[in-house]
Homo-oligomer: A and B are copies of this chain.
Amino acid sequence: MHFCAIMQVFTKDSLYQIAHKVFLAMGSNDDDAKQAADVLLSADVRGIDSHGVSRLLGYVALWEAGRINMKPNVVVKREHKSTFTIDGDEGLGLVVAPKAMKIAIERAKEYGTGWGAIQNSNHFGIAGYHAMMALPHDMIGMAMTNATPFIPPTHSKQAMLGTNPLAYAFPTDKQKPLVIDLATASVARGKIEIARREGKVIPKGWIVDKHGFTSQNVDELKDGGMLTPLGSLEELGSHKGYALGSLVDVMTGVLSGANYGKWVPPFVSYLPLLPNLPGNGLGHFVGALEIEGFRSTSEFKASMDHWIQSFKSAERIDDSQEIFVPGEKEYITEEERNANGIPLNDKVIEDLEGLSKKFKIQF
Contact = CB atoms under 8 A, between A and B. Distances in A.
Interface size range on A against B = 35 or more
A299 interface: yes
A217 interface: no
Contacts of A168: 247, 251
Given A81-B111, A293-B80, A317-B156, A311 B261 contact: yes
A335 to B, nearest CB: 20
A355 interface: no
For this chain, the copies found in one complex come to: 2
A158 interface: yes
A131 to B, nearest CB: 11
A290 interface: yes
Given A115-B113, A153-B311, A326-B243, A79 B316 contact: no
Given A278-B303, A295-B256, A324 B236 contact: no
Given A237-B187, A255-B294, A307-B250, A155 B316 contact: yes
A59 interface: no
A170 interface: yes
A194 to B, nearest CB: 13
Given A112-B83, A232-B237, A294 B117 contact: yes
Nearest to A117: B294
A85 B244 CA distance: 26
A81 B243 contact: no
A140 B307 CA distance: 30
Interface in A251-293: 251, 253-257, 260-262, 278-279, 289-293
A178 B316 contact: no
A316 B180 contact: no
A230 B228 CA distance: 13
Interface stretch (A24-32, A36-44, A205-213): A205-213
Given A113-B115, A187-B237, A256-B294, 20 more contacts: A80-B293, A81-B82, A83-B290, A115-B294, A155-B321, A156-B323, A170-B254, A180-B244, A183-B240, A186-B231, A232-B232, A236-B236, A247-B326, A249-B307, A254-B300, A254-B307, A255-B295, A256-B295, A257-B299, A279-B303
